[in-house]
Structure 1
Amino acid sequence: MGSLVQAELRKTTTTSLWWALLIPTVLIALGGGLLSGLFGQSFVEVFSSSEAEQLSDALGVTPDQWKFALLGIGRTINLATLFPLVFGALAIANEVGTRTITTTFLTAPSRVHAMSAKLLVYALWGAIYGLAIIGSTALGVVVTSKTGQMPDAGGWAMLALVCVLASILMTMFGVGVGALVSNSAGVVVLLIMYFLVVENVLQFGLRLSGTPETVIGFLPNGSVDGLTGTVAVDLFLAKAGVVPEEGVYWLRVIAGAGGAQAWWLSGLIFLAWVVAAFGGGWARMTSKDIT
């Protein structure tokens, strides 16, 4: 297995794909962090004005307790993890397209060994992308925010944990779907369209139809967004004082956690999607004829 893992690492590091996708990942995360910080700081300035003092007093908080930058952090992580998703999707789809998958399978002791090596290597890459995302997002927030708008050390640690976890799961989901579709362009278009368009339209339709909000949290995008968005909202509410229930709902929607379960349950739900996708791809690859 050690040799197979080394071979998979060489496949990823000797091509430009890893850094070609890492660059926009960092830029999106950094830009999202900058905007999140600006948004949070602007909110504090508006509600610190004399016209808004009565509202602040009625809610029993001071504006600097409303750390709106946290909601932007949740959204930024959700958007940036699309890049490790694409990176994972091309893991097998590219090899099938170039037919290097034949060499991979013929030189490995078994296809199970080959797929296991890919699982380990792309889980590592998912973690690397996750660290890059949270690091870039944090840098952006630090640049445009004051200390009062940022989470404490424990909050940053929790955000880093769920960010890395979401990135790993998105990468593995991409690997599984890529093994099922096995067409580089097709799988990228499919995943991007689903996560950015199809499920958002579906969620809107479910809300209009009066379907229970919790259904959204069981969809792929709804569950992985809930993993990070719920943590962001929980950190916000921990310092926000009294927030009406309707306000909590909209905070969750803004953070991308509308209808989501608790963060750990959202993670387990998306893990089930990952297992289904990766398991299906595994079954297809281990039974596929090679030429």
Structure 2
Amino acid sequence: MGNLVQAELRKTTTTGLWWGLLIPTVLLALGGGLLSGLIGRAFVDFTSSADAEQLSEVLGVTPDQWKFSLFGIARSINLTTMFPMIFGALAFSGEIGRRTITTTFLTAPTRVHTMLAKLLVYAMWGAIYGLAIMGFTALGVVLTSHPSQLPDSGNWAMLTLVCVISSILMTMLGVGLGGLITNVAGVTVLLVMYFLVVENLLQFFLRLAQAPEAIIGFLPNGAVNGMTGSVVADLFLDKAGVVPEEAVEFLRILAGAGGAQAWWLSALIFFGWVALAFGGSWAVMTRKDIT
């Protein structure tokens, strides 16, 4: 098993795919962090003005308690975790398309061993991407944010945890769909279109039709966004003082957690989607004729 894991590592490190996708990942994460910090700073500057003093008095909070930079952090994480998903999809579908997987299947004890090795290696890559995303997002926020807008150490730890878990699960979803849709261009277009366009339109029409908001939290994008979004919404509301009840759902939507459950339940829901995709790929690969 150890040799198979090493072989899978060599497959992913001897091509430029891992760093070719890591570069735009960290650049986008850094840009998202910079923008998040600027938004938080702008809010503090506004609420510190005389025009906003009455609002602060009514709500019973000071501007530093409204950590709006958290919302930008959530959105940055949710957007950039698409890259490890694409990495997983491209790496596995490309391996099948180029038939380099043939040697692995022929030399491994069983195909189950091969799929387990892939599971371990791509989970590791998901964690690496997740740590990079969180690190560069945090760097951007620290560089531009007002000090009062920065999360404390416990908040950073929680955000890092959900970012890494989200990145691992997104990577495994990509691997699963890459095994089912072995066309490199096809699986990439499908994933990008679904996560950026299709489900966002579906969520829009569900809200327009006044469908139960909880439905959104059971969709793939709604579930994975709900992980980070629910944490951010809870962290924000915990320090925000008195928030009108009608504003709470708006804040959850702003964080990307509209209709989402608690972060751990959103993780379980998305894990179900990942298990469906990876399990389907596993079933196909263990029975597929290799030439």
Could you say which TM-score interval applies, normalised by the shorter chain?
A: over 0.9
Aligned residue type for 2:17: L
Aligned-residue CA RMSD (Å): 0.7
* 2:164 paired with 1:164: yes
**Distance in 2 separating the partners of 1:245 and 1:166:** 29
**Distance in 2 separating the partners of 1:212 and 1:195:** 21
CA positional deviation for 1:91 = 2.8
Equivalent in the alignment of 1:250: 250
CA positional deviation for 1:146 = 2.3
* 2:151 paired with 1:148: no
Task: Name the SS for the 1:260 alignment partner.
Answer: coil
CA positional deviation for 1:211 = 0.5
Name segments (4+ residues, structure 1) moved above 3 Å. none
Equivalent in the alignment of 1:284: 284
**Distance in 1 separating the partners of 2:82 and 2:35:** 19
* 2:51 paired with 1:51: yes
Once the two structures are superposed, residues 35-61 of structure 1 have per-residue CA deviations (whole angstroms, 9 ceiling, x without a partner) of 000001101111111011111111111
Q: TM-score, normalised by structure 1?
A: 0.99
Structure 1: runs of 5+ lacking an equivalent? none
Aligned residue type for 2:27: L
CA positional deviation for 1:252 = 1.1
**Distance in 2 separating the partners of 1:248 and 1:88:** 36
CA positional deviation for 1:104 = 1.5
Task: Name the SS for the 2:136 alignment partner.
Answer: helix
Q: TM-score, normalised by structure 2?
A: 0.99
Aligned residue type for 2:193: M
Equivalent in the alignment of 2:197: 197
Equivalent in the alignment of 1:2: 2
Once the two structures are superposed, residues 59-116 of structure 1 have per-residue CA deviations (whole angstroms, 9 ceiling, x without a partner) of 1111111000001100000000000000111232001111111111111111111111
Identity, in percent, stands at 73
1:16-55 aligned at under 5 Å gives the runs 16-55=16-55
CA positional deviation for 1:162 = 0.3
* 2:92 paired with 1:79: no
**Distance in 2 separating the partners of 1:107 and 1:254:** 50
Aligned residue type for 1:143: L
**Distance in 2 separating the partners of 1:188 and 1:108:** 28
Stretch of structure 1 that moved more, 91-100 or 264-273? 91-100
